[in-house]
Structure 1
Amino acid sequence: MNNPYETLGVPPTATADEIRKAYRKLAKQHHPDLNPGKAESERRFKDVTAAYNLLSDAEKRARFDRGEIDAAGQERGFNPFQGGGPFHGGGGGPFQGGFARGRGGESFSAEDLQDAFGNLFGNRGFGFGAAGGPRPRARGGNLSLSLPLDFVEAAKGGKRRVTLPDGRSLDVDLPAGLEDGATVRLKGQGLPGASGGPPGDALITVSVRPHPWFRREGGAVHLDLPVTLAEAVLGARVRVPTVDGAVMLAIPRGANNGTRLRLKGKGLPEADGRSRGDQFVTVRIALPDPPDPALEAFVKGYTPPEGYNPRKGMEG
Structure 2
Amino acid sequence: MTISYEGQVAIVTGAGNGLGRSHALELAKRGAKVVVNDLGGARDGSGASSDAAQEVVRLIEEAGGEAFAHGANVAKFDEVQDMVQQAMDKWGRVDILINNAGILRDKSFAKMDLADFQLVMDVHVMGTVNCTKAVWDIMREQNYGRIVVTTSSSGMYGNFGQSNYGAAKMAVLGFMNTLVLEGAKNNIHVNALAPTAGTRMTEDLMPPEIYNMLTAESVTAGALTLCHKDSPTRMILCAGAGGYASTRLFETDGIFLPEAQQTPEQVLENWEGVCDTSNQSELESGAKQSEKFLTKAMAYVQSQQ
Shorter-chain-normalised TM-score: which range? Answer: under 0.3
Largest Rg, 1 or 2: 1
Relative to the length of structure 1, the TM-score reads 0.20
The structure with more strand, counted as a fraction of residues: 1
Structure number having the greater helix percentage: 2
Whose RCO is larger (CA < 8 A, sep 6+)?
2
TM-score of the superposed pair, with normalisation by structure 2? 0.20
